[in-house]
Structure 1
Amino acid sequence: MSCANDMPCPVCGKGHIQRHLKREEFEYKGQTKIINGYPLLICDACEEEFVSAEDSRLFDKELTAFQRKVDGLLTPDEIRSIREKLGYNQTRFARLLRVGEKNFARYETGVSPQSRYLDWLMRILNDYPETIKTITGNRDSNPSDENVSAGYPDNVSDDVLGA
């Protein structure tokens, strides 16, 4: 199935692009994901193939979900559920985990997969919420504390912590 588009080709400038729906296979760690109806834009003159930014965002999320499944990582819904169960908003939970707020938002929206280390930490916090006290260094810590990462010196980078 294809549909014509009057937009000129951004590569050669001579042809026009047409949208084609194709079957595409993506491989990750020996596992294959097949997408029927993957939208490609193809120039009728130079035959250059590319994907629109909108379609790229949509299918990147689908491929990230596939990678999470293969890697056995928590899904965005599971991450959100853990955070909410523990009573944290995104900002405070990101601080607790020692990750950037924008990065954490990407994990919860499915845009990016979290690291295996971070996944492991969230699973521990879910199963053993009392470990939050160990992480914060504050026996009376709760989700509304201003500095949930008080247990770490300021000079410890996220790289050292594996986040």
Structure 2
Amino acid sequence: MLCSECGSSNVRLSAKPLKETFRGEEFVVSGLEYYVCDDCDEVVMSLAMADKQAKEMAKQYRKAHHIPSGEEIKSFRKSLGLSQKEFEQYIGVATPTVSRWETEAVIPSIPVASLLIHLINIPEAKEEQFKISRVKNRAQKCKVFDFVQYTKKSKQNSKVFLSDIKEG
């Protein structure tokens, strides 16, 4: 194996704990094998190793910030009897956010994780959030309706304006 930084073949296998930064915080990942260049100290990993490292850092980050796992989010959503799309409306996030959380492709932000923890642990909060999401959905529907009405009026006004120009 060659070092990807300096091209040296003086690369050795290591299993020492590795200190890495994830979302601005330092974490130590143990139990991984990776290569280190003896000439430039560059850490070299295969894609499988890097994937393992990323998953471990994400796991530590979740634990440090009490962020629910993908399985916990999915379980909570299902306990509410909501589809992913309905849950996105309930929480107030865009599609396909919930799918990404549940598969752990993306970690919820700390403020969203705080909301999720609050909803999971406080039964009264669930109903309150339903009320909020219903109001937001109604408001969004009104905005769409108002826009459609505005567009129709604009088209009518444009036709009148154009006919006035042609006649003038």
TM exceeds 0.5? yes
Counterpart in the other structure of 2:72: 78
Unaligned stretches of 5+ in structure 2?
144-168
Give 1 or 2 for the bigger CA radius of gyration. 2
Counterpart in the other structure of 1:130: 127
Partner Cα separation in structure 2 for residue 86 and residue 16 of structure 1 = 56
Name the aligned partner's letter for residue 13 of structure 1. G
Structure with bigger strand share is 1
Matched, 1:110 2:104: yes
**Would you say the 8 A contact 1:107–1:113 is kept in 2?**
yes
- TM-score calculated relative to the size of structure 2: 0.60
Partner Cα separation in structure 2 for residue 105 and residue 121 of structure 1 = 17
Counterpart in the other structure of 1:150: 137
Q: Which has the higher contact order (CA 8 A, sep 6+)?
A: 1
- Post-superposition offset of 1:124: 4.3
Partner Cα separation in structure 1 for residue 13 and residue 59 of structure 2 = 25
CA change 1:49–1:120 in 2 (3 A) is: closer
Partner Cα separation in structure 2 for residue 124 and residue 45 of structure 1 = 51
Unaligned stretches of 5+ in structure 1?
1-6, 138-148, 156-163
Structural RMSD (CA): 3.3
Q: How many residues align?
A: 136
Structure with bigger helix share is 2
Partner Cα separation in structure 2 for residue 100 and residue 19 of structure 1 = 43
Counterpart in the other structure of 1:66: 60
Name the aligned partner's letter for residue 150 of structure 1. N
- Post-superposition offset of 1:56: 2.0
